[in-house]
Chains A and B, each alone.
Chain A
Amino acid sequence: MKNRHPNSESTLLTRRTVLGAAAAAPVAIFLASCSSTTGSSSEGKSLTLLTYDDADPAKILRKQLEVFRRQTGIKVALNTIPGSGAAIFPSKLRTELVGGKGPDVWRIWGGSIGGPFAENSFAADLTPYYKKYGWNSIIPKSDVTGMTWNGKPYGLPLYGVTVTAWYSKDAFDKAGITAVPTTYDELTAANEKLVASGQVPCGLGGEYGWDVMRLFEYLLEKNAGPQLHDKLITGKADWNTPAVVKSFTELKEWADKGWLPQGVMGLDPNNTEPGFTQGKYAYTIAGAWVDSQDIQTAMDPSAYSTFQLPTDRKPNRHSGWVEGFMINAASKSPDNAAKLLDFLTKVSTQKALQNTESTVKGAGPDPSKYPASVLNAKIGSSAPFYTIQDQALPAETANTYFSIQSEVVQGTMSPAKAAAQMEPAIKAGFSKSSK
């Protein structure tokens, strides 16, 4: 008789089976994940769309995507990263794309934020679709330029942001300001009056740098003038120049005279921006999104309006930028994605989306509901814009600028030293980005 182990063969087999299955399961999962397709996930009659819409705009967008589905049979799955902003959203998008699971279509800012997606072949060249759908005839060339890289349009800009000052009429009345400022002297006089009436004039928050930057770039436009300003933000002029020194000097003056909130550099702009509708500050510097986000949710929306920051220059330019959509170069349904973009360009869609910053001709904001946005759009169309600094400068250079700006406001760096330190930072930034 054979000396057999008490465990029967069948028991051993069962255990082996269990062990084998246990070992095989993770392998199978791993292999399954490896074998899944790279590039966009959709094929056929479905698309994926990634945006940074907050809850309410996302709800409206979903409704329009349902209209699109009914019209075309193409189902669009919307994924949003609400409140992520330009500091966070691009990195999340990049992670998805580099991981091989990017969406078919995504919303993105123009300039140096959207640029890397175009320049690294993640976004599709939209030239054929511009021709096919005639987008050039409905979207101004200046806006298309904001999403053009290496001479090709990689994005469809549907949002043209015009940065203006948004103010509380009550705050101005309380300070005895009878008309909105039309010169820099009038603006500073208004600030003086607001402070004298116990109010903080300009509600900005410096935590991320970019909000206070909106004031600095305005001062730079005023002091340098359009030509020099354009050269400065494209690295073609020396920043160690009197116009830059004067701009930093005035920025410091704004902080010292109480025209900005106390401790401005530690404040979150998400908290300060709505302050003009909450009685905390008299005005803020922003785009027309504050109309739908803050003014329309205030007790009396008619108590707020907007005015252009006066540069005392001709043309009286304003800061601005574009946002729009890109199509994944690896999308399996680029034509359907383009169909979706074309659907979004329709005036009826733009109006349904309540886009108060629409670049589409004839899709301006509703005057009965958004009078301040209408005024903002009018300012936007009356003069060209200079690209907002954090989209004009390479990201690392913008961060260096934020650091210098912070030190100037705190008084730990002189305006002259700030201008001197900006110059090598700009040169290094543009040198790296051109490589």
Chain B
Amino acid sequence: MSTPDSYQATAYTKRRRLAQGLNVWLFALPALLAYVVFLVSPAVQSIWISLTNWNGISPTKAFVGLDNYVQIFQDPTALLAMRNNLLWTVVTIAVPMVLGLLLAVALNGATLLKPFLRTVFYMPAVMPLVAIASIWSWLYDPSNGAINAFLKDIGLGALAHPWLGTSSTAFGAIMVPAIWVRTGFPMLIYLASLQGIPSELYESAKTDGASAWQCFWHITMPSLKPAHYIVLALSLIDSFKVFDIIYAMTYGGPGNSTQVLGTWMYFNVFQFYHAGYGTAIAVFITIVALACGIPYVLSQMREER
């Protein structure tokens, strides 16, 4: 039977739940507000701009529907940029992942030299990309650069080449420092994962007569599966939004040979006064990056459950 006291208790519980619910929102509000103001709102605005013919400076803009998105697939430079993005993504993910894994396996353990070597190999990852671009541009200098000088010194002068000044080699030449920079990250992730593999697994396998290769293939590699996933997902997003190193090393040239979607977006928005079209490219990049990131997010959610 209900009593006035129990009514009061129920009402209090309801109020308390409501207050707690509100509290949650109040705690989240500052972050949510910042998120909405600085991320959601510009993103929505960008989508709107991508549907207009805005030149980026005029006070007026007209709605053009999906014309800008259609234009992406008719613009030869945008198509070239897409191809470059794809090539960039494959090479700058696969090579650093393999190198990072090899380095991690080699540097896993606790000898005196290994921590030092880990630092050395990770160092490029913390350097500013513009500084890296400058260093490598000097190294590639056709007349005074160290790379051509080295080739000449070892008798391979015939291979000396204006690496950044020729369309056929410029894109590959930019990939080299990108690989150099990006090997440190997978190495670090793999190292952390390697240190979490119980040594008993290796001891048991060795007792059973497993070779080093069998240990690597049947113990190390399966144990690194979550690490592979993290490295792949984050590298994929990182690769697709490449901009700075290309902008700093070749400015998309020679000609347009090293354009990627990020640089072509920049040129259209900031150089050619085609803000509508450039923003459509930006939205396109975001959609692709999101599509790449969704499997990673889903996997994280599954693990949390």
Which A positions have Cβ atoms within 8 angstroms of B?
2-3, 5, 12, 15, 19-20, 22-23, 25-27, 30, 87, 91, 94, 97-98, 116-117, 120-122, 200, 206-209, 261-268, 280, 395-396, 399, 402-404, 406-407, 410, 412
Contacts and interface: CB of A to CB of B under 8 A. Distances in A.
B167 A97 contact: no
B165 A206 contact: yes
Contacts of B166: 263, 265-266, 410
24 contacts: A2-B8, A3-B12, A12-B19, A15-B23, A26-B30, A30-B37, A91-B269, A97-B57, A207-B250, A262-B143, A263-B161, A263-B162, A265-B166, A266-B142, A266-B163, A266-B250, A266-B253, A395-B273, A399-B272, A402-B253, A403-B253, A404-B255, A406-B167, A410-B254
A266 B170 contact: yes
Given A207-B251, A266-B170, 16 more contacts: A3-B8, A5-B12, A19-B27, A23-B26, A26-B30, A87-B251, A94-B270, A116-B55, A116-B57, A200-B143, A206-B253, A209-B253, A261-B142, A263-B143, A263-B163, A263-B164
Give the most central of B56, B57, B170: most A CB within 10 Å: B57
A354 to B, nearest CB: 29
A20 B22 CA distance: 11
A102 to B, nearest CB: 11
B140 interface: yes
B33 interface: yes
A268 B137 contact: yes
Given A266-B140, A266-B162, A266-B254, A91 B270 contact: yes
List 7 tightest A-B contacts by C-beta distance, closest first. A263-B162, A266-B165, A263-B165, A266-B164, A263-B142, A91-B270, A406-B255
Contacts of A410: 165-167, 254
Nearest to A116: B57
B57 A120 contact: yes
Nearest to A94: B57
A121 B253 contact: no
A412 B26 contact: no
B29 A23 contact: yes
Nearest to B22: A19
Contacts, number: 131
B34 interface: yes
B182 interface: no
B165 A22 contact: no
A117 B273 CA distance: 11
B16 interface: yes
Given A20-B26, A22-B29, A396 B274 contact: yes
Contacts of A403: 253, 255-256
Contacts of A20: 26
Contacts of B211: none
A165 to B, nearest CB: 20
Nearest to B140: A266
Contacts of B163: 263, 266
Nearest to A404: B255
Contacts of A267: 141-142, 165
Interface of B: 5, 8-9, 12, 16, 19, 23, 26-27, 29-30, 33-34, 37, 55-59, 137, 140-144, 161-167, 170, 250-251, 253-257, 267, 269-274
B251 to A, nearest CB: 5
Contacts of A117: 57
B142 A121 contact: no
A30 B141 CA distance: 48
Give the most central of B56, B58, B141, B255: most A CB within 10 Å: B255
B139 to A, nearest CB: 12
A87 B270 CA distance: 9
A404 B167 CA distance: 12
Contacts of B269: 91
Nearest to B170: A266
A264 B165 contact: yes
Nearest to B143: A262
Contacts of B271: 87, 91, 395-396, 399
A12 B26 CA distance: 14
A183 B197 CA distance: 77
A406 B162 contact: no
A421 to B, nearest CB: 11
A206 B170 CA distance: 13
B167 to A, nearest CB: 6
B144 to A, nearest CB: 8
B28 to A, nearest CB: 9
Contacts of B143: 200, 261-263, 280
Contacts of B16: 5
A425 B166 CA distance: 23
A407 B55 CA distance: 29
A22 B57 contact: no
Contacts of B56: 94, 98
Contact of A262 (B59, B162, B255): B162
A78 B292 CA distance: 45
Contacts of A122: 57
A15 B170 CA distance: 60
Contacts of A206: 165, 253-254
B268 to A, nearest CB: 8
B26 A22 contact: yes
Contacts of B27: 19, 22
Contacts of B12: 3, 5
Given A2-B8, A262-B162, A19 B26 contact: yes
